[in-house]
Structure 1
Amino acid sequence: MGRILSLGFGLFLAIGVHAIATFNSLQAAESDPVLIGAQKEGELVTWAVGEIQFQTMVADRFKKKYPFIRKVNAIRMPSEKLRNRLLTEARTAKRSDVDVIGVSGFELFYLAEQGFFAPYASPETKAIPEGFKHPQGLWAAYYVNTVVTAFNTNLVAPADVPKAWEDLLHSKWRGKIAFFDEEYEWFASYLKAVGREKGLHFMRQFAKQDLQYRGGHTQMVQLLAAGEFPLLSVAWGPRVSVTKDRGAPVDWVALDPVFSNPVGMGMYKSAKNPNAAKLYLDFMLSREVQQEVWVNEAWKGSARKDVIPKDPRWKGVKVIPFDLNLAQKYEEIAKEFREVFLAGKVPSH
């Protein structure tokens, strides 16, 4: 009898605690202007890079947490296409039908400079270090593409895997290395990290390796897996990891200095649903979504300090974000890159 009473009291207590928590949550919602505003808006439109299945996964979780958000229209859009669309619609004085925008690399700098982001410093950005968020709260990284050197495990013996960037200059790799013919962010960030003189010396020697110039990081990993070439000098780590996880004969190594390309998200300056946008940004940058969706499901890197990498090889690795301020010298960087690597050559696209 005592045991039954004890269980009954425990159940009563649990129900009571849940009821109090629910009541407190409702009270908070009633007093939070962002929640009140989001309830009235009820929908959200996002334009962002990143595989659509993972964007949809986040959107579904978001609607489950905030059931008053009836619709989330998540549209996958490459960075350059997104910026061009915003610029075109701005020139025609048309208000873009979007609330949240997400782009990568130098495009983040351009959109911030051109005034397309509205400032919103999400509380979640406290867990994100400098370099992976805008100093005035215009954007923060919702995932990170770490830079790796990838190789085909059927074509490269373990003893031959490069251990440093300088190893790519060995004569055995001549004609066997693939390289993206617009690798501007990596080029500029490498020169800044190691020093211009040393960096340019490496780049010029690297350019003499009879590189196989290809276009597009995703396509190059697919070609690597197919055995088109044994080594891919600059690859996105997440793409290599996903391909390896699917059974392809590929793997990666991180060469020091290790770089990463921030993929950032922020609120559009003329968002029709600004409160829903703020809730979405908080949710997207939360530890839960970063860990469970972008890291565990998508194999991406996270800028958050409290998220555990899916691949333990990343633990303790110092990663340097691309310096996006270098985008101010984009034309100069692109010109120098082409002079070093593409003089007398026809680009792949």
Structure 2
Amino acid sequence: MKRLPACLATLALAVVGTVTSAMAASDHVVLYSANDDTVNKLVADGFKQSTGITVNVISTGSGVLFRRIASEQGNPQADVVWGVSAALLKQNGKYFQPYAVKGREAVPELYRDPNNLWVGTNIQVVTINRNSKAIPDADAPKRWEDLLDAKWKGRIAYTDPANSGFSYAAATALLQAWGDNDAAWQKFGKLVANTKVLNRSTLVFDGNGSGEYPLGISLEYAGNLWAHNGAPVEVGYPADGTVALAEGAAIIKGGPDLENAQKLIDYLASKPTQEMLLKATFRRPARQDVDLSAVGKMPAFKEIKVLPYDDAKWEAARADTLRRLKTTIQETR
């Protein structure tokens, strides 16, 4: 067989190299998300339009996602995990690839990892939402302790903390604020005695919006969404403080495509994306450089009194605390 001239051999190698590089370049990224389908679609469509990269979304509960990530540790199948609590992100740092997300300085230090293992993308604020048709402004409760009044018995919707992360956080934040002792548990028992304990958060949101339950221990975005859709719902920020929990994103260590993972997490944390999600879904951005006026009466984060909250402590004590919460709820029925 005749040898190729040197110049043609060099050209052939260059062509092979170019083809190999093109074949290696990925046009998709895999996202594990605990967010709902509406949010996932907004982000997948926006990222595709911005970068040309397809987001393959696998969506389920955050606990399921992390069990999956753990089982796949030897051969990761996803690039990014998103929409999970800061508590879970802190606990699972060993699965994450450090990356300094663009614009991370706009996120408060409390809501991002000091070693760049994860970054907060939105903040869930627990609120006392009120149906203003059922309860006029003058009678609105202003503090958590106001809910202990017997006049509210049966008029407050509350999600079973065994079924809801934010409901568990609300309970434990109040227990912590009230002293984390037997007296605090007795006080919480008085509050929960006035509630209707429901199995799903959506039942609280819907019941509050429809007026079935005049008050709801709820989330900020849910009240704003109902109000936007025409329901007489007012979002209440307790004067004695409340809990604000970050949800965020992280790159999975050893995932199929690190370059696209970095692009995706930059996109999720970017100002335009968080502005889009704020306007479409009323999710409070973790970034503090986003103008909130586009969604009406949402106060700046610095204007909300946030209670100190030891999420690591309460996550570690979850099983025992849930057992005691269950007993407390049962004793008040």
**Same fold? TM cut 0.5:** yes
* Counterpart position of 1:195: 179
1:133 Cα deviation after fit: 1.4
Per-residue deviation, 1:274:
1.2
1:29 maps to what in 2? none
Identity of aligned residues (%): 23
SS of residue paired to 2:129 = strand
Which residue identity lines up with residue 242 of structure 1 in the other structure? Answer: L
Conserved in 1, the CA contact under 8 Å of 2:117 and 2:250?
Answer: yes
1:47 partner SS: strand
Matched, 1:141 2:120: yes
* Contact 1:221/1:240 (8 A) holds in 2: yes
Task: Find the counterpart in structure 2 of residue 253 from structure 1.
Answer: 236
Name which of 107, 112, 135 aligns with 1:128: 107
Q: Does 1:336 align with 2:324?
A: yes
Q: Which residue of 2 aligns with 1:308?
A: 291
Change (3 A) 1:334 1:159: same
Match for 2:136 among 117, 134, 157?
157
Q: Of 75, 78, 83, which aligns to 1:95?
A: 75
Structure 2: distance between partners of 1:180 and 1:55: 24
Q: Which residue of 2 aligns with 1:22?
A: none
Q: How does 1:1-349 map to 2 (within 5 A)?
A: 40-67=25-52, 69=53, 71-87=54-70, 89-90=71-72, 95-102=75-82, 103-104=84-85, 106-112=87-93, 115-182=94-161, 183-197=167-181, 199-209=184-194, 211-232=195-216, 234-256=217-239, 257-291=241-275, 293-309=276-292, 310-315=295-300, 316-318=302-304, 320=306, 323-326=310-313, 327-343=315-331
With the length of structure 1 as denominator, give the TM-score of the two structures: 0.77
- Counterpart code for 2:92: L
- Identify which range, 160-169 or 251-260, moves more after superposition: 251-260
Alpha carbons of 1:270 and 1:139: their partners in 2 closer, same or farther (altered >3 Å)? same
Q: CA RMSD in A?
A: 2.7
Summarize deviations over 1:112-131 as a string: whole Å, max 9, x none: 3xx33222231321111122
Structure 1 residue 79: Cα displacement? 1.6
**One-letter amino acid matched to 1:329:** A
TM-score, structure 2 as length reference: 0.80
Distance 1:333 1:105, change over 3 A: farther
Cα distance in 2, alignment partners of residues 110 and 323 from structure 1: 13
Match of 1:19 in 2: none
What is the CA distance between 1:344 and its match in structure 2?
7.6
Residues 257-303 of structure 1: CA distance to partner in whole angstroms, max 9, x if unpaired? 13222111111123111111111111111112112x12122111112
Shift of 1:56: 2.2
For residue 151 of structure 1, report the CA deviation from its aligned partner.
Answer: 1.8
For the residue of structure 1 that corresponds to 2:246, the secondary structure is: strand
Offset of residue 100 of structure 1: 0.7
User: Could you tell me how far 1:137 is from its partner in structure 2?
Assistant: 1.9
CA distance in 2: counterparts of 1:322 and 1:246, whole angstroms:
32
Give 1:105 deviation, angstroms.
5.4
Counterpart residue type for residue 129 of structure 1: P
Distance (whole Å) between structure 1 residues aligned to residue 57 and residue 169 of structure 2? 27
Q: CA deviation at 1:231?
A: 1.1
Task: Give how far 1:240 is off.
Answer: 1.7
Give the AA of the match of 1:104: S
| Count of matched residue positions in the alignment of Structure 1 and Structure 2 | 300
- For 2:203 and 2:86, how far apart are their aligned partners in 1? 19
